[in-house]
A and B are shown apart, each in its own frame.
Chain A
Amino acid sequence: AQSVAQPEDQVNVAEGNPLTVKCTYSVSGNPYLFWYVQYPNRGLQFLLKYITGDNLVKGSYGFEAEFNKSQTSFHLKKPSALVSDSALYFCAVRDYRDDKIIFGKGTRLHILP
């Protein structure tokens, strides 16, 4: 069965600094990997995905993520954080043979002005 771990409950970053939100996964086959963001009182929104190909994927709002097969990681990154990036971020994984998408517990990102 697939699983996702987000080791940090909260990440604090000063505005303008680079940010990283960590995610590791476990699947028996090839993974499909995703990041979603949840703003207060809003539904989850898709940010980006890795399916195949280039290990560095780019998504919405200037976010990117790097797939590392040997480390089974898919960390979310942004070169320069904005206060408006403050939200709850979820990593998710799907085994390519299965339609079930499993989410991590989430990481709260605080960008400090």
Chain B
Amino acid sequence: GAGVSQTPSNKVTEKGKYVELRCDPISGHTALYWYRQSLGQGPEFLIYFQGTGAADDSGLPNDRFFAVRPEGSVSTLKIQRTERGDSAVYLCASSLRRSNTGELFFGEGSRLTVL
């Protein structure tokens, strides 16, 4: 597609449930980032993929969070046993290559609400 696509745009779930958020990056972009944005805050880095592998997952808050990118394109962020504090907008971004000087193309985000 023309831009980064994220689904669902909105997700409401109950505490303790499992959630998957999907990101479809711009075709040909090898780098993919996940960020989390809480109300009134800037994007918080979660994880970065270069191709299929997670090059840096230091931002994942705990082991309930996991992300995959099995074919080097679409990525899924997985959250187990959701908590109310996980409520936020989850942003995905992609860029052309690792040596790219950092211009990221963002999707519109997936808003997660945990009741």
Closest A residue to B55 by beta carbon equals A99
A32-B101, A43-B4, A99-B56 in contact; A105/B42 too (CB < 8 A)?
yes
A43-B4, A44-B91, A49-B101 in contact; A101/B109 too (CB < 8 A)?
no
Q: CA separation between A102 and B45, bound complex, in Å?
A: 7
Is A101 a contact of B106 with CB atoms below 8 Å? no
Q: Count A interface residues, CB 8 Å.
A: 25
Q: CA separation between A42 and B91, bound complex, in Å?
A: 11
**Given A99-B50, A100-B48, A105-B40, 13 extra CB contacts under 8 A:** A4-B42, A6-B42, A32-B101, A41-B108, A43-B4, A43-B108, A44-B91, A46-B105, A98-B56, A99-B31, A100-B59, A101-B45, A103-B44
Q: CA separation between A43 and B23, bound complex, in Å?
A: 13
Size band of the interface chain B makes with A: 20 to 34
Q: Which residue in B58, B101, B108 is a CB contact (below 8 Å) of A100?
A: B58
Q: Does residue B98 face the partner (Cβ distance < 8 Å to A)?
A: yes
Q: CA separation between A104 and B108, bound complex, in Å?
A: 19
Q: CA separation between A43 and B106, bound complex, in Å?
A: 6
Q: Does residue B63 face the partner (Cβ distance < 8 Å to A)?
A: no
For the complex of A and B, list the 8 residue pairs with the smallest distance between their C-beta atoms, beginning with the closest.
A103-B42, A43-B106, A44-B106, A105-B42, A43-B108, A103-B43, A51-B101, A106-B42
